[in-house]
């Protein structure tokens, strides 16, 4: 049976090992990342199957649903196996389907951390990420609050999402930053400089939208010919490219179906040659 272990491991902040191919739990919610899933039982099956497939790193956020994704994870997986790492995020509020509003007020971030702990059934969150830096509040206050939570033992490591190199370094002057989560995939590489910086600094890089939600997996898409030659699906090849791109890369493809989860996980065993990697890199983007 193919397992995620074939993707290798990465130690977040040097002390928190995870299997590199993880799972992103955003799509467990309803349409527009809003409300309950169409099939709650299948959502539970997906989460439990992820662990059976060797996935140890699951990423979510309080705003997915909102609250729905975290609650499902707690229901499906708690009490957690020793090697399972749950990452969540705070800093975006929801007013309806596909509507996201930044809120980095420190008191709000603290409240959301407390609520996430409750929903996820955790005593400490292994990786707590600022979903967006809110320009309405000083960065020192937002990161400073996360540092307080870390010092209180409520979170283990701090991560950032959708940030520039300058923002990473500004945050690192306030607190240690373990991971960065930016939009990145084979067809969208505007965060290339951020990825390179993370690699130099040993910071884990989580590419959200790793498959461009189907754009890269179309039968007539840019990966179709290469995937046919490789005996793999376009989605699997796109994930294999990410894993090959950098040792700090932690892809977190999401799905609400077990069959799709199993297909994505099979990408862990695909090993691209230098020539194949270079060909994909130059043919897409």
Q: Which residues does the annotation mark as catalytic?
A: 64
Q: List, in order, residues 6 or more apart from 2 with CB less than 8 Å away.
A: 53, 262, 265, 266, 268, 269
Q: For residues 113 and 128, what is the distance between their CA atoms, to the nearest angstrom?
A: 8
Q: Percentage helix, strand, coil, to 5, in the chain?
A: 45, 20, 35
Q: What are phi and psi of 24, to 5 degrees?
A: -100, 125
The two tokens of residue 237 are 């090849």
Beta-ladder partners of 57: 85
Tokens describing residue 238 = 């796109």
Written as six digits, the tokens of 41 are 């039982």
Parallel/antiparallel/unpaired status of strands 92-96 and 99-102: antiparallel
Rounded CA separation 152/277 (Å) = 44
Structure tokens at 30: 């309803």
Q: Could you tell me the sign of the dihedral formed by the alpha carbons of 104, 106, 107, 110, in that order?
A: positive
Considering only CA atoms, which of 172, 115, 114 is closest in space to residue 143? 172
- Separation of alpha carbons 258 and 142, rounded Å: 37
């Amino acid at each position: 049976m193919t397992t995620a272990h074939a993707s290798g491991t990465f130690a977040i902040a040097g002390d928190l090992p995870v299997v590199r191919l993880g799972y992103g739990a955003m799509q467990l919610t309803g349409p527009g990342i809003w409300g309950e899933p169409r099939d709650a039982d299948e959502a539970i099956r997906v989460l439990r199957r992820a662990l059976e497939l060797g996935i140890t790193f699951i990423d979510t956020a309080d705003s997915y649903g909102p609250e729905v994704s975290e609650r499902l994870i707690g229901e499906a997986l708690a009490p957690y196996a020793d090697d399972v790492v749950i990452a969540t995020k705070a800093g975006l509020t929801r007013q309806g389907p596909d509507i996201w509003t930044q809120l980095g007020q420190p008191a709000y971030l603290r409240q959301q951390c407390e609520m996430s702990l409750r929903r996820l059934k955790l005593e400490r969150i292994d990786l707590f990420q600022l979903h967006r830096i809110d320009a309405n509040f000083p960065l020192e206050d937002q990161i400073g609050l996360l540092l307080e939570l870390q010092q209180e033992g409520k979170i283990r490591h701090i991560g950032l999402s959708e940030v520039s190199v300058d923002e990473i370094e500004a945050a690192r002057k306030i607190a240690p930053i373990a991971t960065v989560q930016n939009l990145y995939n084979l067809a969208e590489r505007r965060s290339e400089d951020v990825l390179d910086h993370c690699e130099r600094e040993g910071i884990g890089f989580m590419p959200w939208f790793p498959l461009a939600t189907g754009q890269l997996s179309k039968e007539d898409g840019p990966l179709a010919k290469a995937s046919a030659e490789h005996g793999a699906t376009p989605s699997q090849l796109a994930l294999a490219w990410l894993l090959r791109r950098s040792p700090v890369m932690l892809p977190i493809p999401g799905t609400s179906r077990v069959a799709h989860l199993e297909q994505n996980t099979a990408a862990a065993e695909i090993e691209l040659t230098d020539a194949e990697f270079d060909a994909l890199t130059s043919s897409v983007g």
